[in-house]
Amino acid sequence: MKIAFFSDEPLITSGGSYSFTNILKEEIESSNTTYEYCFLFIDKSHPKYIIKNNIKYINIYKDNNISLFNKFINKINLFFNINKKRINKFNYIDKIIKDENIDLLCVIGTYKIVTTFPFIYIIWDIAHRVLPCFPEVTKNNEWESRENTLNYMLYHATYIVTGNESGKKEIINNYNINPEKIHIIPFPVSSIYINNNETLNKLNNIVEPFIFYPAQFWPHKNHITLIESIAYIRDNKDIIINCYFTGKDFGNLLFITEQIKKYNLQNQVFIMGFIEQSTLIYLYKNALAMTYVSLLGPNNLPPLEAIAMGCPLIYSNIPGHMEQMEGTGISVNPLNSNEIGEAIYNLYINQDFRKRLINSELKLSKKYLDYSYLKQLELLFNDFKQYLKTWKNI
């Protein structure tokens, strides 16, 4: 049986979607699976086929430019009430899937793939429903676009996969979906972060003590509260804690830069932008804490990376994150800068507490030593195979 994963950025080197996809690629490369895997993606700058580390990448980009002749034909069809678009809307994706002998598609993330072929929908979140106030889910018809996507993908999917019970509850509470169709597969941790004993040279541009936050610059990532927390520690504890933000700008960086100036923290809070993985590992190894104060869940990869690296974790006390962390780390109200500041301060002055916290996190991270997201997915593939044999010789 041949499985295709769709991700719009399997060849890009940043972001949570890439990190997740990269773990899948690592597991595919190291597994003795009986299934055949490939990746579909869309990028007009790449060729149709790419072979990398024995994995086939298929570019399904299509030039939508319509010739004058076809525009004329479309007008004729419209005049005679022939809905050519409706008749052929499945042909493009279905033809690729058929030509590549793909049996099952796995769509990773909030993307809409219109197809008559069976697919698994791996969904990160339904943020537009949970907190629709954020600009990233309201501007430019983004809310309507996400709703349109989910109303197609959730109901047409053979299986829906989410990371924990909190994610499942969010889906059930917002959409009329059969709960038995939703399967929970917890997020994985890359082998790069588990038992990492790599010795790294000191980075001269990183000044200790520091916290850091690996998150793209979206409003919901809540960088502002961390800025306020750093100011709180400076003004109320008379202690200088530095803060490093890593990630790309998705529209909120200018506001964050203005807030850094507003609180006079130009010499304490630094924007690093996109960083290499070796730099990220250095931050995990040397930080006073990794502070993941996102206002949306239900789960994320960086908190798992932190506990695997033995980096003290301060994270939002929203249900999905609490479930993911299983009682370890320090949970805080992500909108309360004083509470976050006190948590950072406590880690700074209490080394025994910090060591106990690290030990607790490392204990939790051991469950990921032999954990394989791919193997969990393959349980669904095995189940689907029983249906596939009713119409295909496998």
pLDDT tens digit string along 308-319? 999 999 999 999
Query: Measured between alpha carbons, how far is 243 from 209 in angstroms, rounded to an integer?
Result: 9
Domain of 142, CATH number, reads 3.40.50.2000
pTM of the model: 0.90
Q: Do 338 and 266 fall into the same domain?
A: yes
- What is the reported pLDDT for 195? 79
pLDDT tens per residue, range 243-295: 999 999 999 999 999 999 999 999 999 999 999 999 999 999 999 999 999 99
Task: Specify whether 51 is located in the same domain as 169.
Answer: yes
User: CB atoms < 10 A from the CB of 360, how many?
Assistant: 18
Taking only the tens place, the pLDDT of each residue in 347-393 is 999 999 999 999 999 999 999 999 999 999 999 999 999 999 999 98
Same domain, 140 and 219: no
Q: How far apart are the first and last CA of the chain?
A: 7
- Specify if 200 maps to a domain: no
- Say if residue 74's pLDDT is above 90: no
Residue 46 lies in a domain: yes
State the pLDDT confidence band at 84, using cuts at 50, 70 and 90.
Answer: very low
Residues 291, 314 contacting (CB under 8 angstroms): yes
Cα dihedral 333/336/339/341 (nearest 10): 120
**Residue partners of 251: CB distance under 8 A and separation at least 6:** 135, 136, 217, 218, 219
Is residue 10 predicted with pLDDT exceeding 60?
Answer: no
When comparing pLDDT for 197 and 378, which is higher?
Answer: 378
| Per-residue pLDDT band at 88 (split at 50, 70, 90) | very low
Residue 249: DSSP 8-state: B
Q: What's the average model confidence in pLDDT over 134-149?
A: 94
Range of the domain at 177: 2-62+88-188+372-388
> Is residue 72 situated within a structural domain?
no
Lowest mean pLDDT of 27-36, 88-97, 178-187, name the range: 88-97
Let me know whether 363 and 226 are in one domain. yes
Instruction: Judge whether 73 lies within some domain.
Output: no
Q: Is the pLDDT of residue 86 over 80?
A: no
* Residue-level pLDDT at 45: 86
Residue 5 is predicted with a pLDDT of: 96
pLDDT exceeding 90 applies to what percent of the chain?
A: 79
Which segments within the chain are labelled E, that is strand?
2-6, 36-41, 49-52, 55-59, 104-108, 119-122, 159-162, 182-184, 210-214, 242-246, 269-273, 289-292, 313-316, 330-332
- Residues 130, 253 share a domain: no
Same domain, 310 and 354: yes
Contacts of 27 (CB under 8 A, 6+ apart): 188, 372, 373, 374, 375
Are 131 and 263 members of one domain? no
**Residue at 180 is within a domain:** yes
Considering the domain architecture, whether residues 262 and 324 belong to the same structural domain is answered as yes
pLDDT > 90? residue 82: no
Same domain, 242 and 383: no
Whether 74 maps to a domain, the answer reads: no
Q: Are strands 49-52 and 289-292 parallel, antiparallel or unpaired?
A: unpaired
Q: Residue 196's pLDDT band (boundaries 50, 70, 90)?
A: confident
Question: In the predicted model, is pLDDT for residue 241 greater than 90?
Answer: yes
The verdict on 128 and 216 lying in the same domain is no
pLDDT band at 87 (very low <50, low <70, confident <90, very high): very low
Residue 212 has pLDDT above 50, yes or no: yes
Could you give the CA distance from residue 110 to residue 119 in angstroms, rounded to a whole number? 14
pLDDT at 67 over 60: no
Q: Are residues 152 and 245 in the same domain?
A: no
* Pairing mode, strands 55-59 and 49-52: antiparallel
Q: Is residue 70 part of a domain?
A: no
Q: Please report whether residue 75 resides in a domain.
A: no
Residues 50 and 168 in one domain: yes
What value does the mean pLDDT of the chain take? 91
Number of domains into which the chain is organized: 2
Q: Are 39 and 24 in contact (CB under 8 A)?
A: no
> Which pLDDT belongs to residue 158?
98
pLDDT surpassing 80 at residue 97: yes
**Nearest-angstrom CA–CA distance, 124 and 2:** 24
Judge contact between 341 and 227, C-beta under 8 A. no
Structure confidence at residue 16 (pLDDT): 58
